[in-house]
Amino acid sequence: MSCSLCRLPFTVSSSSISPQPPPPGILTEKQFLYMKHAVGMGEHTPGLVVDMVNLNNNTFTVNNSTMLINIIWETNDTTFVALHPHCATILRHHLGYTTNSPEHLIELSLLDKIVGPTMGGVHAGRFKDINYEGILGKGDKNRVDIESFWSKDGNECPGFDWLGWQRRGLDWTAARPDVFPRFRPQVAPTRISSLGLIPQSTEDIITTQPLDVLHVLLPYLDPKSFVNLLSTCRTLRHHALTTFQPQARTQVLKLGWAVPTEVEYASFVRRNPPPPAATSPTSSSTETSPPSCDKPSEADAASATPRPETSDTPPEPAKDQPDFSLVTMAHAAHSPADADWYLYLSQVHRSQGMRARRWVWALAEEVTRVYHKKRAAGPYAPVVDADGKETKSPKWKAYAQHVQQPLMMRPFMTGAVGPAKGGAKRFTW
C-alpha cells in the first residue's frame, strides 16, 4: 500500500492482523509512526477526504473516528488516492484546495477522475501520466526511481524492497518533508563579529565595484552560485550578513519549497505563539520552540489565512497584537527583510528533510500541471457565460449532488459532531 505522490509505502498500525514492518533499522521510530498515516480521498471514500491509518491486508481505517470504519484500498485493479500527511498538505497547497470547505473536499475527491484513475497490481496507487522518476531533471544523478522496488507475488499485495531501496541510497526520500531549519529573525552579533576585521580597501575586481553593481548581478545567480560568490572573501561575507540579506530572501522565496505553506505556518504559530508587540523580547531572547513534527490539524487548514507571497515589506504589527516578525519559521510577509536569510538559504540545502521536501514539491507541481491540463479539457472544467463569469459545469454539479451522502458523513467520522464531541471514546490508532 503506497502513497500516490511519493510512491513510498505506508507502514502498518500495531493493530494490524498481519503486520509486515520494514527490517529493523531501516526507519526511525518517528518515521515508522508517521508513515502509517494517510489522507484518503475519492468518490467512494466516506467523507470524501479523511485521515486514515494503514491496517495492511489492503485496508485502511478512518483515524479518530466516532465509529470503526475499514476501507478497502484496491478493488477491480484500481485504488483510491492515499497520500502521506505532508504529501497531501503540499499537493493541496499546489492545487489550491487547502480548506475543508465542501467545495474543496468535492474538488479533491475528483482528483483521480480528472488526472486519471490510480493503477492497481504492482503499480497500485500510481497515476499513469505522471513522470515520477525524472521529476528532478534528466540524468541518472537526478533519477528517483521508487517504483522499481515494488514487486508482486501471485495474489499477495505488492511488497516493497526496503533493503534494496536503502542500498541504492534513497533512504533520504523517507525523511520528514515538514521539518524546517530554525529561522532567525535577527542576525546573531556573533556571526558578524566572527568575521574579524573587514579590510578598509580591496583590489579584486568584485569588491571594488559599487554595491549597486552587485545588487544588479546577484538576482541572476542560482542559490549555489549566490552563496559561493558571497563566501569568497571577508568583505563579501560581511555584506552577505548585512547589506545583501534582502537578496538572500529573494533567493529563498524563489525556491518555493524552502518556506512553509500557509497551513504549515499557521500550525506552527498555534504551537509557538509569538509575544505581543508591546512586550516583544530583545534579540537575545527571541528563540522559541523548533518546528514540531506534528501534521497540521483540520482546524489549522481551515483557518489558515492566505497572505501575499512576494511582499517586500513586512506589515507593522499593532501594539496589542502578536509580533509575527519574531516567529522562528520563515514567512514571505511576516519575516523581516534583514533577518538571517543567508544562513537559512544555506541550511535548506543541507538537511535530508529539505531534500525530500524539494522532491515531493516537484512531484506535487507535476501532478498539479497534469490536473489543470486535463481539467481544462474535460467535463469538469468551469463554464464561462456570455458575461465572462465562470460557473460550475453541469457535470461538476451532478457529481456534487452524487457525493452529498459521503460528504454529510464526514463530521460524524472526524468528531466534529456526535458522541465524541461530548467526550465519548474515539477510535484512535
| One domain, residues 35 and 141 | yes
In a domain? residue 318 = no
In a domain? residue 429 = no
CA nearest to 10, candidates 60, 72, 48, 45:
60
CA 378 to chain centre: 28
pLDDT band, very low/low/confident/very high, at 315 (cuts 50, 70, 90): low
Rg value, the chain, Cα = 24
| One domain, residues 133 and 220 | no
| One domain, residues 138 and 217 | no
Measured between alpha carbons, how far is 387 from 385 in angstroms, rounded to an integer? 5
Measured between alpha carbons, how far is 356 from 172 in angstroms, rounded to an integer? 6
Statement: residue 286 has pLDDT above 50: no
Statement: residue 36 has pLDDT above 50: yes
Statement: residue 63 has pLDDT above 90: no
pLDDT band, very low/low/confident/very high, at 297 (cuts 50, 70, 90): very low
Question: What number of other Cβ atoms are within 10 A of residue 345's Cβ?
Answer: 26
Statement: residue 306 has pLDDT above 80: no
Statement: residue 298 has pLDDT above 50: no
Percent of the chain with pLDDT over 70: 85
CA nearest to 148, candidates 168, 119, 120, 128:
168
pLDDT band, very low/low/confident/very high, at 419 (cuts 50, 70, 90): low
Beta carbons of 297 and 99 less than 8 angstroms apart? no
In a domain? residue 294 = no
| One domain, residues 93 and 127 | yes
pLDDT, tens digit (0-9, with 9 covering 90-100), for 103-151: 999 999 999 999 999 998 889 999 998 999 999 988 888 899 999 999 8
- The average confidence (pLDDT) of the chain is 85
CA nearest to 258, candidates 377, 333, 139, 344:
344
| One domain, residues 358 and 220 | no
| One domain, residues 163 and 17 | yes
Backbone angle region of 76, left / alpha / beta, with phi > 0 → left and psi within -120 to 50 → alpha: left
| One domain, residues 333 and 370 | no
Percent of the chain with pLDDT over 90: 59
Beta carbons of 231 and 240 less than 8 angstroms apart? yes
Question: Pick the residue with more confidence: 92 or 281?
Answer: 92
Q: pLDDT value at position 377?
A: 94
Beta carbons of 35 and 27 less than 8 angstroms apart? yes
The boundaries of the domain holding residue 75 are 1-172+352-421
DSSP count for the chain of H helices, then E strands: 16, 12
Beta carbons of 121 and 154 less than 8 angstroms apart? no
| One domain, residues 346 and 368 | no
Statement: residue 422 has pLDDT above 70: no
pTM, whole model, 2 decimals? Answer: 0.84
pLDDT band, very low/low/confident/very high, at 352 (cuts 50, 70, 90): very high
In a domain? residue 292 = no
pLDDT band, very low/low/confident/very high, at 379 (cuts 50, 70, 90): very high
79-86 mean pLDDT = 94
In a domain? residue 293 = no
Backbone angles phi, psi at 61, to 5 degrees: -125, 145
In a domain? residue 204 = yes
| One domain, residues 232 and 364 | no
18-40 mean pLDDT = 90
pLDDT band, very low/low/confident/very high, at 311 (cuts 50, 70, 90): very low
Q: pLDDT value at position 428?
A: 52
Q: Name the residue type at position 290.
A: P
In a domain? residue 275 = no
pLDDT, tens digit (0-9, with 9 covering 90-100), for 250-285: 999 999 999 999 999 999 999 999 888 765 444 433
Question: Pick the residue with more confidence: 331 or 155?
Answer: 331
| One domain, residues 72 and 21 | yes
Statement: residue 304 has pLDDT above 70: no
Say whether 309 sits in a helix, a strand or coil. Answer: coil
In a domain? residue 55 = yes
| One domain, residues 344 and 366 | no
Statement: residue 243 has pLDDT above 90: yes
| One domain, residues 162 and 250 | no
Q: If you write DSSP's letter for every residue of 362-408 in order, what string do you get?
A: HHHHHHHHHHHHHHHHSTTSPEE-TTS-EE--HHHHHHHHHTHHHHH
Question: What number of other Cβ atoms are within 10 A of residue 72's Cβ?
Answer: 12
Measured between alpha carbons, how far is 359 from 82 in angstroms, rounded to an integer? 18
Q: How many domains does the structure of the chain reveal?
A: 2
Q: pLDDT value at position 205?
A: 77
pLDDT, tens digit (0-9, with 9 covering 90-100), for 114-127: 999 999 888 999 99
Domain final position from 318, 350, 382: 350
Q: pLDDT value at position 268?
A: 94
Q: pLDDT value at position 190?
A: 93
